[in-house]
């Protein structure tokens, strides 16, 4: 990743005597291994941070201008506190504005500010680079203004600022993972209880390989919206027979008994969510006990459910997961992200990596897309790295 300290000083012509304070913070991307196609606002996720980050450098200005520089892109944006609002043309800079809005709301001396941004989180494949940029910006400003804020304060205030500036409900789970992650720890994030459980990874000697299928995801929002509507309708119908707050009130056996009169598509969607809730807990237990065979079965079964019940996979993704399942030394594989293309993740022992890559050589010939791959590790959460 770029060393943004010197880049920041050069961009804003700051002296090398460090008379102007510069704070640099970083925040990681994240992966959801299970649970990312559950009931909105009542989900249970198995996730982790990854060793790809967004870094943000910030320093004060003597005037009232707020300036942004994306070092990777060579792009510059600017605004003022008076004009701090969402603008489509400002793209990535809008996420930094959310952090500025947070501290302005706290009454901090937000006047003129310089920002520089750089990162190595793969874009547009569902690794929460936007949330990472928001969190890194908050951490940098927290250091600059010396504000005592714990993770919960940041999460609540950032969510409120994001909603105010973007006029939409933010993804609090992404914030939770990015803020609270620890190196070599999986997280079970509970949206209902607002808790995070850390589980030390037993996957010593394994790598996480992300395969980007490169399938164009065009016009899939209507399909994803329909899935969410199916879940909402299914829960409404189920609640009329058994008063319920969310799908957690149903064991799989109870759901089977209760869904006899549900439309078939709605029944399948609901079944996926209830089974996925159980899979998150099963995976957590397997990770805690070091039962890698049980963990592997959970991940493969989850993908089968996404394919057959929730129906958001596609032939290319299924092919990648199948090749993983056929390779000795692969400890689980599954689709991750919204679906209808996108990525798979696989846990692979180091000695099996070459064989697995060999099995993928036919992908481009069969499907016409050249896949991209990223080797990742489980990493720690957001932090200030330089003052």
Cβ–Cβ under 8 Å, residues 347 and 361: no
Strand order in the sheet with 330-336: 330-336, 343-349, 206-212, 372-376
Helix crossing, 93-105 with 129-145: angle to 10°? Answer: 40
Total Cβ atoms within 10 A of residue 310 = 23
* % of residues, the chain, pLDDT over 90: 77
Write down the pLDDT at residue 106. 87
**What does the chain come to in residues?**
387
pLDDT of 120 above 90 = yes
Average of pLDDT values for 54-78? 95
Average of pLDDT values for 7-26? 84
The single residue of 36, 90, 120, 174 carrying the catalytic annotation is 174
Write down the pLDDT at residue 334. 97
Write down the pLDDT at residue 16. 62
Domains within the chain, CATH numbers bracketed: 4-200+380-386 (3.30.230.10), 206-377 (3.30.70.890)
Check if 174 is active-site: yes
pLDDT of 123 above 60 = yes
CA distance 214 to 217: 9
Looking at the DSSP bridge assignments, the partners of residue 68 are 77, 115
Write down the pLDDT at residue 371. 92
Would you place residue 243 in the very low, low, confident or very high pLDDT band (cuts 50, 70, 90)? low
Write down the pLDDT at residue 259. 60
Would you place residue 94 in the very low, low, confident or very high pLDDT band (cuts 50, 70, 90)? very high
111 Cβ neighbours under 8 A, 6+ residues apart:
60, 61, 63, 64, 81
What does pLDDT average to over the chain?
Answer: 92
**Tokens read off for 212:** 């980007």
Average of pLDDT values for 281-298? 97
pLDDT of 242 above 90 = no
């Amino acid at each position: 990743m770029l060393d943004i300290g010197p880049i920041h000083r050069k961009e804003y012509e700051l002296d090398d005597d460090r008379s102007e304070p510069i704070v640099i913070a970083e925040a990681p991307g994240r992966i959801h291994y299970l649970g990312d196609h559950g009931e909105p606002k009542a989900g249970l996720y198995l996730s982790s941070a990854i060793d790809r980050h967004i870094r943000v450098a910030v320093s004060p200005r003597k005037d009232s201008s707020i300036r942004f520089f994306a070092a990777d892109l060579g792009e510059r944006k600017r605004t003022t506190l008076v004009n701090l609002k969402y603008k489509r043309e400002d793209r990535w800079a809008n996420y930094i504005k959310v952090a500025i809005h947070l501290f302005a709301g706290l009454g901090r001396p937000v006047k003129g500010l310089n920002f520089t941004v750089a990162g190595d989180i793969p874009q547009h494949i569902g690794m929460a680079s936007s949330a990472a940029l928001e969190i890194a910006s908050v951490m940098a400003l927290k250091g600059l203004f010396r504000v005592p804020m714990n993770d919960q304060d940041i999460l609540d205030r950032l969510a409120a600022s994001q909603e105010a500036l973007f006029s939409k409900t933010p993804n609090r789970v992404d914030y939770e993972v990015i803020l609270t992650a620890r190196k070599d720890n999986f997280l079970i994030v509970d949206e209902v209880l607002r808790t995070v459980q850390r589980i030390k990874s037993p996957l010593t000697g394994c790598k996480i390989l992300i395969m980007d299928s490169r399938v164009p995801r065009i016009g899939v929002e209507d399909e994803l919206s329909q899935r969410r509507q199916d879940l909402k309708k299914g829960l409404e119908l189920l609640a009329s027979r058994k008063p319920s707050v969310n799908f957690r009130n149903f064991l799989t056996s109870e759901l089977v008994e209760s869904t006899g009169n549900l439309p078939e598509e709605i029944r399948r969607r609901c079944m996926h969510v209830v089974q996925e809730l159980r899979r998150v807990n099963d995976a957590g237990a397997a990770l805690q006990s070091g039962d890698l065979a049980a963990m592997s079965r959970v991940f493969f079964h989850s993908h089968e459910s996404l394919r057959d019940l929730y129906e958001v996979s596609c032939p290319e993704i299924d092919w990648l997961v199948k090749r993983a399942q056929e390779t000795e030394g692969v400890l689980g594989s599954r689709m991750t992200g919204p679906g209808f293309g996108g990525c798979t993740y696989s846990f692979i022992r180091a000695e099996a990596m070459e064989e697995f890559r060999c099995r993928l050589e036919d992908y481009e010939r069969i499907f016409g897309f050249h896949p991209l791959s990223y080797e990742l590790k489980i990493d720690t959460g957001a932090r200030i790295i330089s003052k």
